[in-house]
Amino acid sequence: MKIWVDADACPRAVKDILFRVANRTKISVTFVTNQWLRLPASPFIHLIQVRQGLDIADDEIANKCEPGDLIITADIPLAARIVEKGALALDPRGTLYDESNIGQKLDMRNFMDTLRGSGVETGGPNSFGHRERLKFANELDKFIARR
């Protein structure tokens, strides 16, 4: 099992949790980004820097992940792609995406995107705080314990 991180939009607090988890559990954590990212030195923490462009990092993650891997992403279309491959996705806010809920999440995301495209203001997510960080850490711990 590996953990892949869609790192460009990943909150710093989540990255810090993942750094600690990689070293504690000795699970490989790979950060995929289109910009340079400073990571702590560790044999369990890796960086893949891809070129700039729409969905380049997503494509890298989708192509390299395998069944049983965990992908950290807030990108619902990427989550749908990797769930189709047999992997799971965990949103930085602590929502786990699997085959039981990804279809509904993708439909809602597409619906909201259509609303925004037609000029309806739908608002954005709440700010990322302690509650979200704790929920993420708890879901990550549960995932690791099941493995």
pLDDT tens, residue order, the chain (147 aa): 999 999 998 999 999 999 999 999 999 999 999 999 999 999 999 999 999 988 999 999 999 999 999 999 999 999 999 999 999 999 999 999 998 888 787 767 666 677 667 777 766 667 888 999 999 999 999 999 998
- Domain extent, residue 108, equals 2-146
Number of domains in the chain: 1
Q: Looking at residue 124, which CATH number applies to its domain?
A: 3.40.50
Supply 13's token pair. 């607090």
Residues with Cβ within 8 Å of residue 104, at least 6 apart in sequence: none
Beta strands 2-6; 70-72: pairing state? parallel
What residue has token string 């806010």? 93
Rounded to whole angstroms, the Cα distance separating 134 from 120 reads 32
59 phi and psi, to 5 degrees? -60, -40
Rounded to whole angstroms, the Cα distance separating 12 from 35 reads 15
